[in-house]
Structure 1
Amino acid sequence: MSTDLHELAPHHLPPFITAPGSSDFLYNVIVVSLVVIVLLVGNFYFKLHALPEKMAEHANSTQLQLIGVMALLALFTHNHIFWVGALLLAAIQLPNFTEPLNSIAGSLRELSKGAAKNAPKAPAVAADAAASEQA
């Protein structure tokens, strides 16, 4: 086979045009760069969707669970309103109503145990007399 070009072919070909049977350098570069770009964009997308959960790490348990569910809904349904809602919910610190109520309930429980311990017991004779009067 001769390496001479056809007389009508241009003599100065760009470097991305390859000879028949050789590998295409530009194609290989584009494939590798496309794979890298897709991986980087995917990584950015997942980090962006985890942003509300990162912001709400120190929130109470119920708020963190609600933010996590909203972020997952936004990820799987592509409804961005869920993600915006999760972001706003993470930015706002909701008051924790259950902690004071649990504290009050625990204190009342302890008081009732102490009151039951110190309460005078009614004599059994008086209770028996009251029962016999009713009969």
Structure 2
Amino acid sequence: MNTLHPLAPHHLPSFVTAPGQTDVLFVAMAIFVLLAVVCIGVFYFKLHALPEHMAHRGQKIQFEIVAVLALIALFTHNHAFWIAALLLALVPLPDFTTPLTSMARSLSRMARHDAMSGEPVAPGAEEPDEPIPAATPPAVAGDAAPAEAGSAEKAGA
């Protein structure tokens, strides 16, 4: 019996369903809202991880600081941390470790030379057991030995 109530309008909208039937519009809107919430959440997390993705190409310490700032912003809902992470990810930090590593490597190579003779010491060679004697103090001008004085005159002549 598909008869309408006498007081009902004769032209009902298409979204009105008969009693006992499935409301198709409600089901469609429920699925749409569920998908919209999931898509907005994914977009939010992708946007929130943007500073980390940008800092990934930089230095490790910069990446770690940006990641911590982004996590703090996520859990505190304080957008200032996210903005700070984004700005830090955009600014390239100067590389201090490469020159310092180069200096340390050069000093290590210099330290491998024998202190007395200036000859390189083999990497596996043992250190000498006797201590290296301290440098002699410089001679005063009047204390020069006669042999040294004679050699100085020959060099000047």
How high is the TM-score relative to the length of structure 2?
0.70
Q: 5 Å matches for 1:57-96?
A: 57-96=56-95
Alignment length (residue pairs):
124
In structure 1, list runs of 5 or more residues that go unmatched: 128-135
Quote how far apart the aligned CAs of 1:3 are.
Answer: 2.0
Residues 65-121 of structure 1, C-alpha deviation per residue, up to 9 Å, x if partnerless?
101111111112211111100100011001121221122112212211223595699
CA distance in 2, matches of 1:111, 1:103: 12
Considering fraction of residues, name the structure with more helix. Answer: 1
In structure 2, list runs of 5 or more residues that go unmatched: 120-126, 134-157
The answer for the alignment partner of 2:154 in structure 1 is: none
The answer for the alignment partner of 1:34 in structure 2 is: 33
**CA-atom RMSD in angstroms:** 2.5
Runs of 4+ with >3 A deviation: 115-124
Q: Point out which structure has higher relative CO (alpha carbons under 8 A, 6+ apart).
A: 1
State yes or no: 1:43 paired with 2:21.
no
Equivalent position SS for 1:114? coil
How high is the TM-score relative to the length of structure 1?
0.81
What percent identity do the matched residue pairs reach? Answer: 48
Larger mean Cα displacement after TM superposition, 55-64 or 112-121? 112-121
